[in-house]
Structure formats: C-alpha cells, structure tokens
Amino acid sequence: MNNPSILPTKAAKDYELLDSGDGEKLERFGAVVLSRPDPQALWPKRLTAAEWKKAQAHFSREGRDGSWSADASMPKKWEIEFGGLKFAIKPTAFKHTGLFPEQSVNWDWTREIISKAVAAAAAAGVKGADADIEVLNLFGYTGGATLACAQAGAKVVHVDGSKSAITWARENADLSGLSDKPIRWILEDARVFVEREVKRGRIYQGIIMDPPSFGHGANKELWKIEEHFLPLIEDCMKLLSPEKSGPKAPLFFLVNGYSAGYSSVAYRNNLLQLEQKYGGSIEIGELVVEESPVPAGAETAGPTAERLLPCGIFARWKK
C-alpha cells in the first residue's frame, strides 16, 4: 500500500485561507472575509485579534446552537469563481458557506479521468449511448463534484436529501453556464435511491459519495454512518458494470469523509474489491487547505509560517 497523500488546496483569485488557529479559521470568499470555528485548528493564530476583527462576519457557537454576527458591509449572498466553476456563497445557520474548497483537487481528478475516457471513446469511434459516461454523486450538496463531472463530458445523477441544497446546486449550475448539461437532480435519501437503481439494473462508470456522520433523508430517513455506510457501499458496487474493459467499464469510485472520526484506511479497505476485480489503483489521504502568506503590513501575533489546515479524508480508486 502506498503512503497516504496530503492533497493541498492553495489560494485562488476568489478564495484563500488567511489565518487559522485557536479553533477558528479566517477565510476570504471573493471580497468578503469570514471567521468560522474549526476544531482542527489546534495551534496559535498568526494574526492579531485586531486583524481578525476586520472580518465582515463571525460565526459563534453556544452549546449546540450557532449564529453569524455581521457588519453592514456583509451581503446575504454573493458570487465567486473557484476551481473552474462559479458558486453562490450564502453563510448558513450551520456555519457552512456552500463551498468546500478542499474538494477542488477531487474535481480536477474526476475531470481528468472523464476527459480521457471521452477522448478514448471518440478515438475508437464509439458513439451514442455507448459513449456516455454516467456518474452518480451521492450526498451531492451544492454540486461542485457534479458540475466538474458534467463540465468534463459526463452525464450525472446528483442525489441529495435536502431540497434547499439541490436548489442551491442548480443555481451554481446556472452561474457556471452548465444548466444545459445532462444532470438529473434527485431529491431523495441516498440509500433509498441506490436500492431502486440496483433493482432497475442501472450501471454507472463513476461513483462519488460524501456521506455525513449523521443526517436525515428527504423523508426524514435516519442516516448513521456506523450503521448505514457499509450497506450503501455494497449496493453501490452493484451499480458498477462487470465489464473489465470497454466504454462501459468502471472508471472511478471516490469516498470523502469529514467528521465521522474514521481513517482513510477504513475507506480504502472497502475499495480493495475494485482493485482486485478491475485492476487500477487506490489512493488515500487527507485534504488540506494551505494558508496564504501573511499580507504585507498585517499585524502578527506569532510565527508566520504557512500551515496546512486539515479538512477531511478521502479514498479513491481509478481504473
């Protein structure tokens, strides 16, 4: 087994991690600077309290509840461009903004795989439905992975149990100029949908999942990762073609993880069956965001080295 990878997301025109520490992170989304809690930031801040106070909004949590405190310059919603896509940023009651920037490295990975498969099919003279690359994105949230796959030439089924998340994802598709791409937006519990797809005999060439540790489906179905992850994985494996080569052979399987406390090795162990059946390779590791250099003239409170903020784990297989 290869050593786990650390895949960094660096600063971009419309996003950067300005500072982190003491259980918080300071980020810029476009022209707006936000301060949010982040339990992974177990180190001192680089910038002074005065610099942090320049943020237009700060999320604070008391017990299980949280809220934003914002100044008059804070918009309710704004647009940014990131990772080759456009997103509507809207701070939510759960401290999220609609963008997980660390996922951009996975978007690039799926784009590359799909683009090569599209080119290979064209070179082989494969046409029509035989040339279609179909991707299933479970727990799709605001659509970053869905849009990246569609942008590269795949037909995508986007599944999420939240109506507001799907509405948001469709808005991002419009902003990114991808509203005419072949994307099916499905409001349903991921497990229920996958079970139905298995019964329908559907086949996908790529599967992406980003399961939470706990949640509810569209009809209040309970999701607990420790109980439901393994049955979901087993059903998803049934959605991959048994063909080991050709235009309909499986291309990739990507699993992301955040707050469940599992190791990427645990996810890898579920993907070993793909490596054994189809060949290819598995990569595991951590997704991180790299801090930007301290701006000239900013007041510092400690060492100014650029650090990596852990943002989740991944395991991914490709043919």
Average pLDDT, the chain: 94
Q: In the predicted model, is pLDDT for residue 107 greater than 80? A: yes
Domain chopping of the chain, boundaries: 5-101+290-311, 102-287
Confidence at 260, pLDDT banded by 50, 70, 90: low
Burial classification of residue 64, based on how many CB atoms lie within 10 Å of its CB (0-12 exposed, 13-18 middle, 19 or more buried): exposed
Q: Which residues are CB-contacts of 32 (< 8 A; sequence separation ≥ 6)?
A: 56, 57, 74, 75, 78, 89
Chosen CATH of 102-287 out of 3.40.50.150, 3.60.70.12, 3.40.50.300, 3.40.50.10190: 3.40.50.150
Q: In the predicted model, is pLDDT for residue 93 greater than 90? A: no
Q: In the predicted model, is pLDDT for residue 11 greater than 90? A: yes
pTM of the model: 0.95
Burial classification of residue 229, based on how many CB atoms lie within 10 Å of its CB (0-12 exposed, 13-18 middle, 19 or more buried): buried
Give residue for tokens 């999320």.
59
- Between 221 and 92, the more confident residue is 92
Q: In the predicted model, is pLDDT for residue 63 greater than 80? A: no
Q: In the predicted model, is pLDDT for residue 280 greater than 80? A: yes
Partner residues linked to 8 by β-bridges: 288
Query: Nearest to residue 248, comparing CAs of 138, 160, 141, 129?
Result: 129
Over range 302-319, report the average pLDDT. Answer: 94
Q: Where are the beta strands (DSSP E) in 41-187?
A: 57-62, 65-70, 78-82, 85-89, 134-138, 155-160, 183-187
Beta strands 57-62 and 65-70, pairing class: antiparallel
Model pLDDT, residue 73:
84
Instruction: Write the class of the CATH domain 5-101+290-311.
Output: mainly beta
Model pLDDT, residue 209:
97
**Residue 318 DSSP one-character state:** E
Model pLDDT, residue 160:
96
Residue-wise pLDDT for 124-133, tens only, equals 999 999 999 9
Q: In the predicted model, is pLDDT for residue 214 greater than 70? A: no
The domains spanning 5-101+290-311 and 102-287 adopt the same CATH topology: no
Q: In the predicted model, is pLDDT for residue 2 greater than 90? A: no
